[in-house]
Homo-oligomer: A and B are copies of this chain.
């Protein structure tokens, strides 16, 4: 090794083959946006960004598996029964080269120990089930920052439902939990899913609403923000006036992603997008990744489209998506 080697080159010793000085530079650039955070939070953000196939690219693909809690086990796992086993998902995340794996308390307790230290973990601190249907949903707090530490997590995850009459309660919960998490160096990931009596069904993915929801999550102090891919629909009349007057381009998915990224502190927060329900065609999922990439999004969080198919197929799809983000595929 060249004795004048820089840190970035030295880092390569413990990093994937693809990690270059440029990649290291990109991760450090992203970390520079979090100047108010202690080195612990930055290190955990870096751990997620420096892990897996996309290590060092500043892009992320995260595997989340909270659908068992959110939708029930059969709806989640019957299509690929291997997924009933909590170890399956950790293995899938590791083998496919994801940046991180996110799940509720029980799944992490059952899955964290055998693979300790092998992939960054995100503990989902609140969850919701559909055995009771509410117009104005609120998730229940089902885990703690102490749990995240004892399970060796890099981050906590938390869902808010802007548009719900109960949104304020969730904002207050993540305020307290986020403060506690940042103090101990954990990163904060907010799932921001507009729902509730304040919105129409179409409004939940309307471009104005999704951009607004991402902004709220950023304002609540999230390091990483997860939203659904937005549609062209505009929900709020007051918003529509501005979108039309300023001719904000939201016609293509990439344009809408770009608008959400801009709405999330002009791109100075990591915002990633969820794929939603199981897609019929892989190409559809990959195209979404292309649009996210082209719009400047930071990556995908892909649950049902990965764990609801056989593992080899899931890995193939995840790697196609990562190839889009890493630039090795068109």
Contacts and interface: CB of A to CB of B under 8 A. Distances in A.
A11 B275 CA distance: 25
A62 interface: no
A269 B81 CA distance: 16
Nearest to A3: B312
A72 interface: yes
Interface string A31-57: 101111111111111110111110100
A212 B246 CA distance: 39
A42 B117 contact: yes
A53 B14 contact: yes
Interface string A97-121: 1000000111111101111111101
B75 A132 contact: no
A14 B101 CA distance: 14
A152 B44 contact: yes
A327 interface: no
Give the size category of A's interface with B.
35 or more
Contact of A144 (B79, B164, B179): B179
A114 B33 CA distance: 9
A110 B68 contact: no
A60 interface: no
A132 B183 contact: no
A35 B39 contact: yes
B236 A130 contact: yes
Contacts of A211: 72-74
Given A110-B33, A179-B147, A221-B106, A95 B236 contact: no
Contacts of A144: 175-176, 179
Given A78-B242, A86-B268, A117-B45, A236 B72 contact: yes
A118 B151 contact: no
7 contacts: A4-B311, A14-B51, A38-B38, A72-B215, A73-B211, A109-B221, A142-B172
Given A42-B116, A43-B117, 9 more contacts: A1-B319, A7-B90, A13-B16, A14-B52, A31-B117, A46-B116, A131-B212, A132-B167, A139-B168
